[in-house]
A and B are shown apart, each in its own frame.
Chain A
Amino acid sequence: MLPKKVKKRASLLAIFLLASVLGVFLILNTLNKNILYFNSPTDIKISQDINYNKKIRIGGMVKKNTLEINNHEIKFIITDFKNEISVSFKGTIPNLFAEGKGVVAEGILKDKRFFEADRILAKHDENYMPPELKNILSDNAK
């Protein structure tokens, strides 16, 4: 028979360990379910296995003279200078969204050329560009 103190300490330790394992599992599991993949229009074009039910992000430039607005939605084309994809969006565009500027749209892919966004991401700075986007665009410009 173990002394009472040791027993108590062991059970406390067991509870603590169990809670930690459970906590870590919970975090990692949720993390896996909630990551958003970032793609360029070219990524979409060459990709073989697209999940049409999962949210993704698409980044590129808003192609000049493609922005359209009617009384229920906004449409524009995102380009990475190689390939492009049409985006439709219901909602408000953020500050500093404009033709010829960088944009990141979040939403669901309908097919390889059409994207339904439910959020357009805000940029705080007119010169700012997400690092992912910068790499893609500078690669394509070469």
Chain B
Amino acid sequence: MLSNTGNFLLSLNILLSALIIYYSYNNLKTSDDLISQKVFKISILQSTSILICFFTLVSAFLVSDFSLITVYQNSHTLKPIFYKISGTWGNHEGSLLLWVIILTLFSFLFLIYNRKHPKNYRLYTLIIQNFLILGFLFFILFNSNPFSLISPSPNEGLGLNPILQDPALAIHPPLLYVGFVGSSIYFSAAIASMITNYADKSFAKSIKSWVLISWSFQTLGILVGSIWAYYELGWGGFWFWDPVENASLLPWFAMTALLHSLLVLERRNVLYFWSIILCLLTFILSVTGTFLVRSGILNSVHTFANDPTRGIYILAFLSIMILVAVYILFLKYKPANVEINSNSKETFVLVNNWFMMFYLITVLLGTLYPIFTDAISNNKISVGPPFYNSVIIPVVIVFLFFMAIGPNAKWIKNKFIDLKIYSLIILAAVLLNFIIFFFFKSYSIISNLIVISSLFLILSSIMDIFKKISFNFPRVVSHLSFGFLILFIGLNHNFSIEKDFNLKIGETKQIDNFKFHLKDLKLVQDTNYKAVIGSLKVNDLLSKEERVLKPEIRIYDNPQTLTYEASIQTNFIRDYYLTMSNIDRSDYYNIKFQKKPLMIWIWISVAMLSLGGFLSLLRHAKYN
């Protein structure tokens, strides 16, 4: 029943998208500046029916309808209700349905929220967006159908991978999808803008909100993913430069560059084609990331079951998308004839864009390089975190200085009048840096520079609040929190302590100024797993701090899996992080203990960064 409903709704959506394209196309030629009511009505219908389709799948998960392959493979009757729901998008098929929902909703919202803009521009955006929707609907229906039946219908499902049964990971995909699937709407708008020659500052105004929305959600999505990786994967880090993480970061760089170049387009009416390229690039990178992850071409830690036909379909879709976009770009491209002063705000924004492109190329090369060497020389290689760290970190130092100075530059022609203030700020930053390092007794040139440059950004952002009568508050929030982010990452990285050792029950071990004692183990039965909970006393002999940490070893029933749950104690100064694992036929427990300073502030900084985006959205809505 649910399968039929779902398939019917998917087919209906194909029909509706085709109708929207047809009516919009006819509507292009009408002389008045009104979009026909038909287009609006079908759009409402389209959004409603895709939502119902999604709820059909959710209910299939809720009632555990194992006649659907997707439900059978990813759910279980004993799974908590929350994870039954989140299981809907915790798999390849369901997550693609989420793709289409966001494509569709953004298409509808863009249509109704842009009444001030020319009719044909809106209609073309709608047409192109619906071609994207069609592409994904066909993919879902014929290759990755969440409503496919299995017969005979099994009595029990296989269950969701236990490490995906987690609140952070339940909200991670929707957040991230609003981010990078949301970028589709300015991909469509960019093409529409080129076709209709709607190429001035009002184009920038029409897409700015959408760029801000997708950027803020993308930032939040990445944050939630990192937090999850931090407490669930058990190695205590939050960024691994894994291909999947990189795939989410690539569109983020493009979006960030776009966000800044739009400022120039909005203000000075230049950089139009560059902004268009960034619009196209953002969504192209989003689809590329999906292709890399879902096709299984890259060695990644994500669990989507791989299927080469999926890869081929996405690759074909991606190629068509790129070809069309590039073709229209070449057709319409006119070299701009505007002189930009080398000392002006415009140049600073361009500098931001260069940096973003540099990061983007670095991460893209690192991610794709293993594929090339495998294809060319058959050498299996991987590119590890040291590559990214040693390329990106030195560049970030310079970047932070520009980020501090740039926003205060004047449009058109700038003069440095604040040199005195900047020298004072840098002096303060250097001083603070040495206080920090004197206090912690550790030294490396690069970490000193990172701390100094981030302090420089922080201090000058704070100065901005006091200096000007009217300042751009959202910008200050974002730049300030980015400065804090780099500062906290730098300090955290430099002053983390890690101890690995093996311990028997009742045994005590002292390493440097830490004393560890494994008191006992308890066996606990939960609804869908058994857990061995250790009770480990940690004594910091320096600060006289004593804590009991309770790491777990969990044995899940469906599917049969063993996982190690970290025990984390957070406060505003530091995190204690401890994992315990066990090996059969031995009394020893394998323990990893970490003391990570200022961990929580890293999360707060990223949340604030994203908040800056939302605030900017409000500001934009208020003035336009």
Contacts and interface: CB of A to CB of B under 8 A. Distances in A.
B135 interface: no
A30 B362 CA distance: 10
Contact of A31 (B303, B342, B366): B366
B469 to A, nearest CB: 34
Contacts of A19: 354
Interface of B: 161, 163, 233-235, 296-297, 299, 301-303, 339, 342, 354, 358, 361-362, 365-366, 369-370, 373, 379-384, 386-387, 390-391, 500-504, 559-564, 579, 581, 583-586, 588, 590-592
A95 B301 contact: no
A69 B391 contact: no
B227 to A, nearest CB: 16
A5 B581 contact: no
A122 B299 contact: no
B391 A91 contact: no
Nearest to A122: B233
Given A36-B384, A95-B233, A71 B502 contact: yes
Interface residues on A, range: 35 or more
B236 to A, nearest CB: 9
B148 to A, nearest CB: 20
B382 A69 contact: no
A125 B500 contact: no
Contacts of B503: 71
Interface string A2-20: 0001001000100000010
10 contacts: A27-B391, A31-B366, A31-B369, A34-B387, A35-B387, A36-B381, A68-B583, A69-B583, A69-B590, A132-B380
Interface string A103-128: 00010000000000000001111101
Tell which of A36, A39, A98, A99 has the most Cβ of chain B within 10 Å.
Answer: A36
Chain B interface main SS type: mixed
Given A69-B586, A91-B592, A132-B299, A96 B382 contact: no
Contact of B381 (A38, A95, A124, A128): A38
Contacts of B383: 31, 34-36
Given A38-B382, A125-B161, A126-B559, A95 B564 contact: yes
Given A70-B502, A92-B234, 4 more contacts: A27-B361, A67-B585, A122-B301, A131-B299
Contacts of A38: 380-382
A24 B364 CA distance: 12
A122 B591 CA distance: 16
A142 interface: no
A85 to B, nearest CB: 16
Nearest to A119: B235
B428 to A, nearest CB: 29
Contacts of A5: 339
Tell which of A12, A68, A90, A94 has the most Cβ of chain B within 10 Å.
Answer: A94
B161 to A, nearest CB: 6
A124 B302 contact: yes
A131 B375 CA distance: 14
Given A8-B342, A12-B342, A130-B299, A122 B386 contact: no
B586 A98 contact: no
A69 B579 CA distance: 16
B590 A74 contact: yes
B358 A30 contact: no
A72 interface: yes
Contacts of A73: 502
Nearest to B390: A30
Given A69-B583, A93-B581, A95-B163, A37 B379 contact: yes
Given A69-B583, A92-B500, A36 B382 contact: yes
A98 B555 CA distance: 13
A92 B161 contact: no
Contact of A34 (B296, B358, B390): B390
Contacts of B500: 90-92
B384 A94 contact: no
B299 A68 contact: no
Q: Which 3 A-B pairs have the closest CB atoms?
A: A92-B592, A38-B380, A34-B387
Contacts of A106: 384
A136 to B, nearest CB: 9
Contact of B235 (A70, A122, A124, A126): A122
Given A92-B579, A92-B591, A95-B233, A30 B387 contact: yes
A10 B45 CA distance: 56
A96 B563 contact: yes
B233 A30 contact: no
B380 A37 contact: yes
B234 A69 contact: no
A27 B301 CA distance: 25
B72 to A, nearest CB: 15
Given A37-B379, A92-B500, A131 B296 contact: yes
Contacts of B592: 91-92
A95 B234 contact: yes
A26 interface: yes
Contacts of A72: 501-502
B299 A27 contact: no
A123 B163 CA distance: 11
A1 to B, nearest CB: 20
Contacts of A68: 583, 586
Interface in A56-104: 57, 67-74, 90-99
A59 B383 CA distance: 16
Nearest to A56: B381
A106 B380 CA distance: 14
Contacts of A24: 361
Tell which of A34, A68, A98 has the most Cβ of chain B within 10 Å.
Answer: A34
A19 B384 CA distance: 25
Contacts of B583: 67-69, 74, 93
Contacts of B366: 31
Given A34-B390, A72-B502, A130-B299, A95 B339 contact: no
